[in-house]
Structure 1
Amino acid sequence: MSDVPHTPLLDTVDTPADLRKLKPSQLRQLADELRTETISAVGVTGGHLGSGLGVVELTVAIHYVFNTPEDRLVWDVGHQCYPHKILTGRRSRIRTLRMGGGLSGFTKRSESEYDPFGAAHSSTSISAALGFAVANKLSDAPGKGIAVIGDGAMSAGMAYEAMNNAEAAGNRLVVILNDNDMSIAPPVGGLSAYLARLISSHEYLGLRSLAKRAIRRVSRRLSSVAGKAEEYARGMATGGTLFEELGFYYVGPIDGHNLDHLIPVLENVRDAEEGPILVHVVTQKGKGYAPAENSADKYHGVQKFDVITGAQVKAPPGPPAYQNVFGETLAKLADADSRICAITAAMPSGTGVDKFAKAHPDRAFDVGIAEQHAVTFAAGLAAQGMRPFCAIYSTFLQRAYDQVVHDVAIQNLPVRFAIDRAGLVGADGATHAGSFDIAYLATLPNMVVMAAADEAELVHMTYTAAEHDSGPIALRYPRGNGVGVELPQVPQKLEIGKGRIVREGKKVAILSLGTRLAEALKAADALEARGLSTTVADLRFAKPLDEELIRRLLTTHEVAVTIEEGAIGGLGAHVLTFASDAGLIDAGLKLRTMRLPDLFQDQDKPEKQYDDARLNAEHIVDTVLTALRWNEAAVADGGVRA
């Protein structure tokens, strides 16, 4: 780790108002110091690094040219916002990034007036900025809406839906396309910078607007021919045909690290009377830090690291990560089954699909940030007899819920959903927590929902899903490493809707779903020490429920507790509904449900998050003892146990 770097110019800047007092000739030094401070801070905290380093100059230029926070700046996804946070009054807390009680790793409305819109999922920025722009236009208030969106985020349809509607904002909307993969434009230089300044100038924009109005006055045939000719010529010169078709004035591409190019173009855009405008900026992910430049993917999200060497602090060796267990298991199954395919939405390493892709590249599909397409693509594969696994984080699958319902569940297609990051996720906080998938999937007819208690169970469930051809099936597993159990050499096909007894007792029953099983077993030890004989069941399935097992446990134990890593409406709700429908809730039963609290939990260490959620062993014990004490008090008072 390194000490706080020497940053004399940055030390004079607390807000963008301070930044705008600087001379243009000082901005290069400021950007260099801002990059150094960003590297130093992330070295201490870990977090997203490469994307933030790529937009240092762009961040400086935007805050220098535009009047933030009156001009509303929306960062798409938000993982590139660390330099922005440093320049907007939060430098003193920047070394608390992603920690409990510290700064969020994403933009957050409650954190600063310079974060007008929270963003941690992709492709929402243009819609939000359009909302700000149109609201200001309708109320005759000053201020533009500015969206900074990466080229990866442009793979999602929502970005184009917003752009198609953007004409209503006029010159109040500015979209900055941060092309950091060279995926759209060729290398840029002095000529393209000159062209960008030219076509963003007031005179040129006025001529373009005049030409459009003139063309509208001629016949449809002439308009069509002239429009296509003008479009073709302009597209050859600037590459902006698509964006112009969507109603934007296209400017670019320009070098996103050259402040001498950025500043005059953004000033032209700021002062333009025509709009909306899209500025195409080319940047390099990890810019200015050799380890990140040379390994952009690895430095997208990093652990704490040594700033001098770039070496990340490695966790001690332990059990394999759940996503790797899934990916390697699926690859082995695909060796013997040519129908198995894997689909992910821009998260191959995060879901383990990279392991599958290495073994079966022709059957692995990364569709980009396009979860809706991923699900329906998988549905099409399933309808044609393939066995697709759609591997998506729980929180990202929410974006495709309509497709899960209409394209998969209603048609009863055997799409396999591998739901990574199920449960709480630590430093990424509420936006990335997999809190809702049990509730939103288990409510659907035809859907099977499994949750792995450990890495061995994940192997069995992956195989079970592969063999399940009678409808959609989902398996959920958390972020992080397994618990250290031995992985099976030969996977078992689980009976759908059947749980297992892990520990047999008589008085207390703990019905666990997912990886809280380890805490349930610890709680059972503590209860046994108090003389309370305890059964622990791993239900395995949230849907269909093992009604036979649940009925037996509820009718033979005085207290029953369900526990899950999901929000209200999940396993506990389904068990309560079954118990009610079956007439099991009577004077002799104490049934309690334990689940995530009805709130969005901020970032913290996972163990602290689960403790705050009251989902650890001591809380299971407390829930059981409270139920028993209430029960005993009611009997002593001559009341009825209920």
Structure 2
Amino acid sequence: MRDTPLLDTLQSPADIRTLDRDQLPQLADEVRDTMIDAVSVTGGHLGAGLGVVELTVALHHVFDTPEDILIWDVGHQAYPHKILTGRRSRIRTLRQAGGLSGFTKRSESTYDPFGAAHAATSISAALGFCVARDLKGDNNHVIAVIGDGSMTAGMAYEAMNIAASSTKRLIVILNDNDMSIAPPVGAMSNYFARLLSSRSFLSLRKAAKKMIEVWPLPLADAARKADEYARGMVQGGTFFEELGFHYIGVVDGHDLETLVPILHNAREIDHKPVLVHVRTQKGKGYAPAENAADKYHGVSKFNVITGEQQKGSNGPPTFTQVFGESLVHEARKDDRIVAITAAMPTGTGLDIFETAFPDRMFDVGIAEQHAVTFAAGLAADGMKPFAAIYSTFLQRGYDQVVHDVAIQKLPVRFGIDRAGLVGADGATHAGSFDIGFLGALPGFVLMGAADEVELARMVATCAAYDEGPSGVRYPRGEATGLDVPADPQPLEIGRGRIMREGSKIALLSFGSRLADSLRAADRLAAMGLSTTVADARFAKPLDTELVSRLARHHEVLITIEEGAVGGFGSFVLHHLAISGGLDQGLKIRCLTLPDRFQDQASPAAMLAEAGLDADGIMATALLALGLDQSDALPGAGSVRA
């Protein structure tokens, strides 16, 4: 990494405000170098952060943070912000256990007033800060920085729709780095943006409005149309103006000579909310990221000089890939199958589907609510929609799942990616709750894939099932290495499978924990404890016959799931309670994720912390029997207490 003499002198944003404007480009360069160096070691989100370096420097130079509230939408663009707000010494701990979060986080810094890892929350939160400020009689500024991708989410417009009637002092920065919202940035556009934010222009508009109020109608109409036409020609902000915002743009987000005075001007506008439309380039200043913005949005560790990212192992395909390939296989047999994603085609494996069937693939942007109801409409007219959405993002469309899909018994199929823990992305992206919130819905068929063969068969099951909604959850990361059959066959609805027969302990796994359950069974068997392992396959409808059989013939029954309290284990307990299965002296334990939000760490460490790895499963079985490590047979190895 190059030397950073200017950055080295700064301890906080207060120091940035002492710099001359002509020093800011150097500071931006040094922040960019620091970020590239850090992310090359930790991995993480790269492109978006590189694109907002100058904007970040300008915001902290102009505004009095943290007294002035600065909210970053999503938060993955906030790495430069972290570097400039007292966290530079820890920047190489990004997304590591005990380190800095990959997103903004209230508990991490006073400069993070609002945590954000899901899109389009910033304007709503900022409006909350504004109203609180106004009610308390404070005088600070509130700024929300929202990416153009987040503007595809309806929540942003819901907030903007009432902002003008709720407060007069709110600044929204629209960071436009991809969508063609406005004409290309140029010197003339920058000039007009600076002009339109100036006091003289605002005074002129106020005077014109007063004239319109007293002039005869024909002259007033002409003046009004001339004003709208002039502003529309300059920067195309009519839409935002109609929402009650004073629009300034389009501004070159990398030109600090233009950006700083415009932010100064925006800070002084106090008669209505302001939207500053800033155009940036993802990956700015790092050639590999500039040339392949999609591949450098989120990165693994990489070589700074060449840009080459660290490759994964040459192991099995990921569960995501298996899902995409399995859906393509089913779609070749049935032209009614269509696929829907909410801005995550690669992340959900639907890029594979799009290559095969471009006309049957729909990316609706960051709009999970719309995605679900759109799928419901397709299903209502005889199509077979597969909505592939991360578990954590499906939470945002839950009302639509209930109201638009489940109540109407529409056969929408859900591919629930990232179900379970996700390691470095932490609590905000963990797929912890889908078993409980989907399993609670009458008529919803919910499956959990233990391996790639099961996932392929579950995709086939969804494709064949037309009686109502269905879904299959699967984890992040590599599958197990099994060979997927050429034509996977559907499963019998509501039937699990016995993987290993025993007589004393029964391990009933749902989804991703089957391999660790089998390993735990091996260790228990080595101690002389005969163990059955079963794969439930279905959380709903539950295989009640299998559950009752395991309860009758074993002393201990342990349910195992990579999901929150209130999921699969609760369904099993409910069945046993109403069927009398708990009246036989059965010792039953439910292994779930802990009843708290787990901090980021490696997936293995998070699973161990939750007690969901082989050691944790084995320890739970021994404790249920009143045994401990000292009861192990010679050579059996230790047992974690």
Whether TM-score is above 0.5 comes out as: yes
2:148 paired with 1:185: no
Among residues 71, 75, 97, which one is paired with 1:74 in the alignment? 71
1:409 to 2:406 alignment: yes
Once residues 615 and 291 of structure 1 are traced to their aligned partners in structure 2, the CA distance between those partners, rounded to angstroms, is 39
1:443 equivalent to 2:440? Answer yes
Q: Is the 8 A contact 2:557 2:588 kept in 1?
A: yes
SS of residue matched to 1:470 = coil
Could you tell me whether the CA contact under 8 Å between 1:39 and 1:307 is conserved in 2? yes
Which of 188, 193, 196 aligns to 1:196? It is: 193
1:95 matched to which residue of 2? 92
Q: Does residue 366 in structure 1 map to residue 360 in structure 2?
A: no
Give 1:226 shift: 6.7
Q: Name the residue aligned to 2:163.
A: 166
Secondary structure of 1:348's counterpart equals coil
User: SS at the partner of 1:187?
Assistant: coil
The counterpart of 1:554, out of the listed 551, 554, 575, is 551
Q: How well do the aligned residues superpose, as a CA RMSD in angstroms?
A: 1.7
Q: Deviations over 1:266-299 (max 9, x none)?
A: 0001112322000000000000000000000000
Change (3 A) 1:511 1:204: same
Partner SS, residue 599 of structure 1: coil
Q: CA deviation at 1:222?
A: 9.4
Deviations 1:578-628 (A, max 9, x none): 100111111421111000000111111000000011111111111111111
Give the one of 129, 149, 153 matched to 2:150.
153
1:118 to 2:112 alignment? no
Aligned to 2:270: 273
Shift of 1:219: 10
Output the CA distance in 1 between the equivalents of 2:142 and 2:214.
31
In 2, distance between residues paired with 1:449 and 1:538? 14
Counterpart in the other structure of 1:39: 36
Structure 2 residue 597 is matched with structure 1 residue 597: no
Structure 1 pair 196–497 and aligned structure 2 pair: CA distance change class (3 A): same
Cα distance change, pair 416–222 in 1 and its aligned pair in 2 (3 A)? farther
| Alignment partner, residue 251 of structure 1 | 248
**Identity of aligned pairs, percent?**
66
- Structure 2 gaps of 5+ residues are 629-641
Does residue 347 in structure 1 map to residue 344 in structure 2? yes
User: Counterpart of 1:419 in 2: which secondary structure?
Assistant: strand
Opposite residue 439 of structure 1, the aligned amino acid is G
> Is the alpha carbon distance of 1:220 and 1:487 closer, same or farther for their aligned partners in structure 2, counting shifts above 3 Å?
farther
Q: Is the 8 A contact 2:169 2:270 kept in 1?
A: no
Contact 2:182-2:235 at 8 Å conserved across structures: no
1:584 is aligned, of 575, 581, 584, to 581
TM-score computed with the length of structure 1 as normaliser: 0.95
The count of corresponding residues between Structure 1 and Structure 2 is 628
Q: 1:165 to 1:576 in 2, by over 3 A?
A: same
The question of whether the paired residues in 1 share the 8 Å contact of 2:149 and 2:179 is answered with: no
Residue 451 (structure 2) pairs with residue 454 (structure 1): yes
Residue 568 of structure 1: which of 559, 565, 568 is its match?
Answer: 565
Which residue among 520, 525, 532 is the counterpart of 1:523? 520
Give the TM-score of the pair, scaled to structure 2: 0.96
- Indicate how the Cα distance of structure 1 residues 439 and 555 shifts in structure 2: closer, same or farther if over 3 A, else same: same
CA shift in 2, pair 1:168/1:522, >3 Å: same
CA contact (8 A) 1:382 1:413 kept: yes
Q: For 1:391, what is the secondary structure of its paired residue?
A: strand
Structure 1 position 482, deviation (Å): 0.3
Per the alignment, residue 637 of structure 1 pairs with none
Counterpart pick for 2:297 among 285, 297, 300: 300
3-state DSSP of counterpart to 2:340: strand
* Alpha-carbon contact 1:70-1:142 (below 8 Å) kept: no
Supply the distance in 1 between the matched residues of 2:439 and 2:224 (Cα, whole angstroms): 52
Aligned-pair CA distance for 1:170: 3.8
Structure 1: distance between partners of 2:199 and 2:471: 55
Query: By how many angstroms is 1:231 displaced?
Result: 3.2
Instruction: Give the AA of the match of 1:595.
Output: T
Structure 1: runs of 5+ lacking an equivalent: 632-642
Residue aligning to 1:138? 135
Residue equivalent to 2:531: 534
Q: Aligned partners of 2:540 and 2:282: how far apart in 1?
A: 43
Q: State the SS of the aligned residue for 1:152.
A: helix
Give the 3-state SS of the residue equivalent to 2:626 in structure 1. helix
Corresponding residue for 1:433? 430
In structure 2, the CA distance between the partners of 1:247 and 1:213, relative to structure 1 (3 Å rule), is farther
Distance in 2 (CA, whole Å) between partners of 1:316 and 1:214 is 71
CA distance in 1, matches of 2:219, 2:349: 55
Q: Residue in 2 aligned with 1:621?
A: 618
- Identify which of 487, 498, 501 aligns with 1:504: 501
Distance in 1 (CA, whole Å) between partners of 2:622 and 2:43 is 41
Q: Distance in 2 between matches of 1:606 and 1:82?
A: 23
| Paired residues of 1:439 and 1:569 also in contact (CA < 8 A) | yes
